Amino acid sequence: MSIQNPIRCNDGIVGTGKSEDKESLVRPEVEVWLTGAMPSITELMAAAKRVMGVVALGPEATQAAADHLEVAAFHAREWHSGHPCPDPAIGEQVAAAFDAFTALADDCAVAAKSIPGYSSHALDERAGEAVAGLMTVMYATRSAER
């Protein structure tokens, strides 16, 4: 179900909520590139989801989540290096977002060796930040042509 009426906010009308009413704001070649990146992005998101709350499951589960995330981050970086983005600025942002998942995998491995006593909240927060960073880059591609 889509919103058919305009949505009002403090600064006026935001829009109808119908995506078909809006032109694509990203160049077609970047859109094709993003479509190609989706398997890597999906793999990263699934791996990050495994990290959330894993510390409570113990060191083995935490290390397994770290290993899974490390593989997903490697696949994403490998795909990215073989498929440069047509827009170098977006490509750099995506590379940085992918690198955040590599750092998260490292943090997760440290957590696995530090249980008990490792703050699961800190790891969960870093996982959320990595996901948010990637989503922010994805959103930015939609407004890159504004």
| Tens digits of pLDDT across the chain (146 residues) | 334 444 444 444 444 444 444 444 568 888 899 999 999 999 999 999 999 999 989 999 999 999 999 999 999 999 999 999 999 999 999 999 999 999 999 999 999 998 887 788 989 999 999 999 999 988 877 655 44
CATH class for domain 25-143? mainly alpha
Predicted TM-score (pTM) of the model is 0.76
**pLDDT given for residue 67 in this prediction:** 97
**pLDDT given for residue 28 in this prediction:** 86
Is 108 in contact with 65 (CB distance < 8 Å)? yes
Domain extents in the chain:
25-143
**pLDDT given for residue 31 in this prediction:** 87
Residue 31: which of 134, 145, 130 has the closest Cα?
A: 145
The three-state DSSP-derived secondary structure of the chain is CCCCCCEEECCEEEECCCHHHCCCCCCHHHHHHHHHHHHHHHHHHHHHHHHCCHHHHCHHHHHHHHHHHHHHHHHHHHHHHHCCCCCHHHHHHHHHHHHHHHHHHHHHHHHHHCCCCCCHHHHHHHHHHHHHHHHHHHHHHHHCCC
